[in-house]
């Protein structure tokens, strides 16, 4: 299971150098502005902006393409089914199936928005170490409980994943067939899940004691490690303008502000 | 059962974030009212990671296999930590595997998290009378797991069909709802059974894990 999403965080690009707090705000503004877009001309502009940002980020194309392998088959199914089910204007008939214009447009809108938002998200989390991004979220006001849980869960995800892998290998070596359905197999898989939970619980007790020894809960709140330069503010302003431009463009190209609510 | 980016209109995703913020605020407030909230954070965090990993286990359902959701078990075990745990799990899903999405994080958190809270209250019903009864743990474990997944499927289907940005006629909508509901029936049964089996396992091995953190 490929977990590393920051394997290219060491590269050097304007987005790698950008203050992570400004980057979070700027990229999220663009992501939410993209989700407003319905008009086909604005969809084209969205693709251009996404490709431009991706080129500037210097991330290899293979990075995003490899990330596209996992996204849900659900979306693929939706995009394939909608043109045959949604709408009334029949463009052409393929045997018993009618290809409908409204469904085609809806599928195009969904697929384009999905791909652009996904790509921007990949750049956001791919151009800084994940821990730095979490610290930036904390600096922007994420509650301490959530930030601590995020950091700890991320820290132990790989190890617990390793435990599962080892236990599944041991089961296989003892002759367990993971493809055969039976009540016994269900019970064994439930025990596997239960064992992972018990191991993690026991590990959490040692972790808590180790954290206490390191002053958890008593250490002074660390000062923010982030420094905002004027270039960071300028880049953020550009991103906010782009985001506002897409919202305004959708209002102008669509049917007024009501288009945003569709 | 995660709604990806690009499908839902902005008012729906915004409403999802507003509801998620409210439930998270309430959960954090309840956690802070506990005697030593910091003590529970490592436990809840590692169990969050563990649940994320356990959801990778594939259960054979011939001719295919399904992966577990386990939001019912998560609610039963984590109590008020369940909603933040689900939010974090979905965030990891969105940024690591591009399952779900960043704009739909709020909606997806409600679809998975709200039923987890209901499951927590269902599972607590076993505390009425003899708490040590394995049969009661099995029954309420099954109910917590099955009800949570039923609620999640209902919320998922209702949101998806109602807010899909395409005109579907009523007959098509109804057919889609029935198809999605029937497709999830085996998953509901399996989630209930597995939740029940894991709850009984934990009661025998580490009963304190069922005393919600």
| Banded model confidence at residue A4, pLDDT cuts 50, 70, 90 | low
> What pLDDT was estimated at residue B66?
78
Looking at per-residue pLDDT, the higher value among B39 and A113 belongs to A113
**Paired sense of beta strands B64-67 and A90-94, if any:** unpaired
Classify residue B6 by burial, with Cβ atoms within 10 Å: 0-12, 13-18, 19+.
buried
> What pLDDT was estimated at residue B212?
59
Give the span between the Cα atoms of A107 and B165, in whole angstroms: 9
> What pLDDT was estimated at residue A117?
93
Residues 6 or more apart whose CB falls under 8 angstroms from that of A35 comprise: A113, A117, B5, B6, B8, B10, B13, B103
In a domain, B68, yes or no: yes
E-strand ranges in A3-89 read none
- The helix (H) or strand (E) run that includes residue B64 is strand B64-67
For the segment A202-244, what is each residue's pLDDT rounded down to a tens digit? 988 888 888 888 887 766 666 667 888 899 999 999 999 999 9
For the segment B35-67, what is each residue's pLDDT rounded down to a tens digit? 777 888 888 898 899 888 888 888 887 777 778
Residues 6 or more apart whose CB falls under 8 angstroms from that of B209 comprise: A197, A198, A201, B77, B202
Q: What is the mean pLDDT of residues A133-162?
A: 89
B65 touches chain A (CB under 8 A): yes
> What pLDDT was estimated at residue A3?
56
- CB interface of B with A, residues 105-134, below 8 Å: none
> What pLDDT was estimated at residue A62?
86
Give the span between the Cα atoms of A156 and A163, in whole angstroms: 11
Number of domains chain B contains = 1
Q: What is the mean pLDDT of residues A92-113?
A: 83
Give the span between the Cα atoms of B170 and B41, in whole angstroms: 47
Q: Residue B188: which domain range? A: 10-210
- Mean pLDDT taken over chain B: 87
A138 pLDDT above the threshold of 50: yes
> What pLDDT was estimated at residue A32?
93
In a domain, B4, yes or no: no
Q: What is the mean pLDDT of residues A144-160?
A: 89
In a domain, B92, yes or no: yes
- Residue B79 to chain A, least CA–CA distance (Å): 15
| Banded model confidence at residue A1, pLDDT cuts 50, 70, 90 | very low
B196 pLDDT above the threshold of 70: yes
Hey, are the CB atoms on B57 and A121 less than 8 Å from each other?
no
In a domain, B3, yes or no: no
Q: What is the mean pLDDT of residues B81-86?
A: 93
| Banded model confidence at residue A26, pLDDT cuts 50, 70, 90 | very high
Least confident of A233-247, B95-109, B115-129, B169-183: B169-183
> What pLDDT was estimated at residue A104?
86
> What pLDDT was estimated at residue B127?
83
Nearest CA in chain B to A30: B103
In a domain, B2, yes or no: no
> What pLDDT was estimated at residue B119?
94
A with B: how many residue pairs have Cβ under 8 Å apart? 234
Provide the residue ranges of all domains of chain A, joining segments of one domain with +: 14-136+225-261, 144-213
> What pLDDT was estimated at residue B167?
64
B193 pLDDT above the threshold of 90: yes
Q: What is the mean pLDDT of residues A245-250?
A: 91
For the segment A48-89, what is each residue's pLDDT rounded down to a tens digit? 999 999 999 999 988 888 877 666 566 777 778 888 877 777
Q: What is the mean pLDDT of residues A247-252?
A: 89
Q: What is the mean pLDDT of residues B175-192?
A: 82
Q: Which residues of A112-128 are buried (b: 16+ CB within 10 A; e: fewer)?
A: bbbbbbbbbbbbbbbbb
> What pLDDT was estimated at residue B166?
62
| Banded model confidence at residue B113, pLDDT cuts 50, 70, 90 | very high
CB A124 within 8 A of CB A32: no
Partner residues linked to B65 by β-bridges: B60
- Mean pLDDT taken over chain A: 85
- In chain A, what residues touch B91 (CB-CB under 8 Å)? 150
- The helix (H) or strand (E) run that includes residue A183 is helix A183-213
Q: Is the ipTM of this complex over 0.90?
A: no
In a domain, B144, yes or no: yes
Closest CA to A143 of B97, B51, B116, B88: B88
A166 touches chain B (CB under 8 A): no
> What pLDDT was estimated at residue A38?
86
Hey, are the CB atoms on B103 and A31 less than 8 Å from each other?
yes
- In chain A, what residues touch B88 (CB-CB under 8 Å)? 146, 149-150, 153
A103 pLDDT above the threshold of 50: yes
Phi, psi of B171 (to 5 degrees): -65, -40
> What pLDDT was estimated at residue A262?
52
- Residue B61 to chain A, least CA–CA distance (Å): 6
């Amino acid at each position: 299971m490929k977990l590393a999403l920051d394997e290219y965080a060491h590269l050097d690009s304007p987005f790698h150098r950008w203050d992570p707090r400004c980057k979070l705000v700027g990229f999220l503004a663009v992501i939410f502005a993209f989700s407003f877009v319905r008009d086909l001309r604005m969809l084209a502009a969205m693709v251009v902006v996404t490709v431009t940002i991706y080129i500037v980020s210097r991330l290899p194309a293979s990075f995003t393409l490899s990330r596209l392998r996992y996204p849900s088959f659900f979306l693929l199914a939706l995009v394939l089914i909608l043109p045959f089910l949604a709408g009334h204007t029949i463009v052409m008939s393929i045997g018993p199936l009618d290809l409908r214009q409204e469904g085609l447009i809806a599928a195009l809108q969904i697929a384009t928005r999905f791909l652009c938002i996904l790509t921007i998200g990949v750049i956001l989390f791919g151009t800084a170490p994940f821990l730095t991004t979490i610290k930036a979220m904390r600096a922007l006001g994420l509650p301490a409980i959530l930030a601590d849980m995020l950091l700890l869960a991320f820290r132990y995800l790989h190890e617990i994943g390793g435990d599962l892998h080892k236990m599944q290998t041991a089961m296989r070596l003892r002759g367990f067939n993971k493809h055969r359905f039976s009540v016994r197999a269900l019970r064994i898989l439930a025990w596997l899940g239960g064992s992972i939970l018990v191991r993690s619980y026991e590990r959490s007790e040692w972790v808590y004691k180790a954290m206490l020894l390191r002053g958890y809960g008593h250490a002074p709140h660390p000062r923010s490690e982030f420094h905002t330069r004027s270039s960071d503010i300028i880049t953020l302003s550009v991103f906010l303008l782009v985001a506002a431009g897409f919202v305004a463009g959708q209002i102008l190209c669509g049917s007024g502000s009501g288009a945003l609510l569709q | 059962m995660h709604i990806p980016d690009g499908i839902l209109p902005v008012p729906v995703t915004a409403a999802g974030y507003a509801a998620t913020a409210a439930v998270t605020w309430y959960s954090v407030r309840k956690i802070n009212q506990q005697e030593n909230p910091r003590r529970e954070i490592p436990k809840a965090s590692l169990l969050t990671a563990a649940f994320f990993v356990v959801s990778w286990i594939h259960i054979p359902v011939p001719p295919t296999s399904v992966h577990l959701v386990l939001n019912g078990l998560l609610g039963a075990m984590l109590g008020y930590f369940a909603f933040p745990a689900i939010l974090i799990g979905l965030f990891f899903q969105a940024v690591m595997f591009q399952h779900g999405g960043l704009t739909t994080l709020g909606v997806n958190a409600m679809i998975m998290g709200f039923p987890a809270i209901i499951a927590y209250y269902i599972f607590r019903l076993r505390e009425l009378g003899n708490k040590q009864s394995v049969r009661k743990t099995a029954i309420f474990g099954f109910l917590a797991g099955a009800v949570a997944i039923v609620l999640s499927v209902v919320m998922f289907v209702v949101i998806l069909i109602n807010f899909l940005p395409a005109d579907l006629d009523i007959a098509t909508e109804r057919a889609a709802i029935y198809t999605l509901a029937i497709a999830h029936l085996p998953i509901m049964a399996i989630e209930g059974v597995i939740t029940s089996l894991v709850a009984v396992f934990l009661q025998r091995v580490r009963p304190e894990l069922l005393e919600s953190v």
